[in-house]
Structure 1
Amino acid sequence: MSVEIQIQPITAENFAPYGDLIDCTGDSDMIINLGKCKRYHDRAQIDFGTGRAGLSLFNAEIRTLPYEFNLVERHPLGSQAFIPMSNDGFLVIVAPDDNGTPGTPIAFETQAGQAINFHKGTWHGVLTPLSGSGQFAVVDRIGDGNNLEEFLLSNPHIVVRDKT
């Protein structure tokens, strides 16, 4: 039996337990490049523990709603940032930790111009673009140790848009 979850609006506050919402909202922190560039400084808590930062490019398949999933994963040794290389939002699925296993999943959708950074150890769904190119720059930990833990949910979950 599948479980339906509705997409919630994403804000820095409601995403904070899982990671950082990265965007250019509010006033910039400084003006650089002879006044031609606004810098929004230090927008994510990048944590690589004993590893180093790695920059990879991902090319994910575009998905459609309703979206069914049963796999979540986490990275116990480092954070992971997803930065779309097109001006499109994407689906973000997270779950609180429940004594070492994922709790009830929550779905968010970013808006154009937003990226996210999952905190170290956050349960999350796979990369799920709903439009655009599916290309992302990903900043995550490179180093020794197993930084991937996958978990198959006992029931599939289906992500839908709010019906109101």
Structure 2
Amino acid sequence: MTVTIKTQPLTAEALAPYGDVMEASGTPDKLINQGKCGRFHDKANLDFSDGKAGISIFKGEKEVLPLPLKMVERHPEGSQAFVPMSENPFLVVVARDQDGTPVDPIAFLTKPGQAINFHRGTWHGVLAPLSEPGIFAVIDRIGDGANLKEHWFDKDYIIEE
């Protein structure tokens, strides 16, 4: 039996148990650059057990909904942020942890101007741009040791809009 996961709009409140939504919404925390630039300060909880924060550039292949969800991953040693380098939406998938196993996956669609940061240890889907070019700045832990755990589902999931 296939379980359908319906996407929902990404909000800070909905993602809060899993990570942070980074966006320039509301009133800036302060104005800088002679009042010409609003700074929305410290929008993500970067958390690393060791090593350092690094910024890499990822280029993901375009995905199309409906999309099978075969696996999720997590990073036990550090948070991971996806910052799109275009104004295009992307798919965000997260799942609760139950005794080391991901359960109850949910899916979000971002809107232009949103980026996300997964908390350390959060089960999440892989980078899933929904349009080309699919280029993202990714901020995560650079350091020694394994920082990736994958879980392949036995159950069939399909993500739909």
TM-score (normalizing by structure 1):
0.96
> What stretches of structure 1 move > 6 A for 4+ residues in a row?
none
The yes-or-no answer on 1:102 pairing with 2:105 is no
In the alignment, which residue of structure 2 is the partner of 1:156? Answer: 156
Partner of 1:31: 31
Query: What's 1:134 paired with?
Result: 134
Q: Secondary structure at the match of 2:86?
A: coil
Deviations 1:106-130 (A, max 9, x none): 0001100000000000000110011
> Which residue pairs with 2:55 in the alignment?
55
Distance 2:98 2:65 in 1: 27
CA distance in structure 2 between the aligned counterparts of 1:81 and 1:112, rounded to whole angstroms? 16
What per-residue deviation string (whole Å, max 9, x for no partner) do you get for residues 75-109 of structure 1?
Answer: 00000000000011100000000110101110001
Secondary structure at the counterpart of residue 112 of structure 1? coil
Q: Secondary structure at the match of 2:13?
A: helix
Identity between Structure 1 and Structure 2 (%): 57
Q: CA RMSD in A?
A: 0.8
> What amino acid does structure 1 have at the position aligned with 2:102?
P
In structure 2, C-alpha distance between the alignment counterparts of 1:15 and 1:60, rounded to whole Å = 22
Q: Kindly provide the amino acid, as one letter, of the partner of residue 77 in structure 2.
A: L
Give the partner amino acid of 1:112. Answer: P
**In the alignment, which residue of structure 2 is the partner of 1:120?**
120
The answer to whether structure 1 residue 76 and structure 2 residue 76 are counterparts is: yes
Paired residue type of 1:15: L
Higher share of residues assigned strand: 2
- Matched residues in 2 for 1:96 and 1:50: separation? 24
Task: Note the residue ranges of structure 1 that are not aligned, 5 or more in a row.
Answer: none
- 2:104 alignment partner, SS class: coil
Kept after mapping to 2: 8 A contact 1:82/1:136: yes
How far residue 132 of structure 1 moved from its aligned partner, in angstroms, is 3.5
- 2: distance between equivalents of 1:9 and 1:34? 35
Q: Is the 8 A contact 1:87 1:132 kept in 2?
A: no
Aligned residues: 161
Offset, 1:144: 1.5
Distance of 1:2 and 1:154 partners within structure 2: 11
- For residues 38 and 70 of structure 1, the distance between their equivalents in structure 2, rounded to whole angstroms, comes to 40
Q: TM-score, normalised by structure 2?
A: 0.97
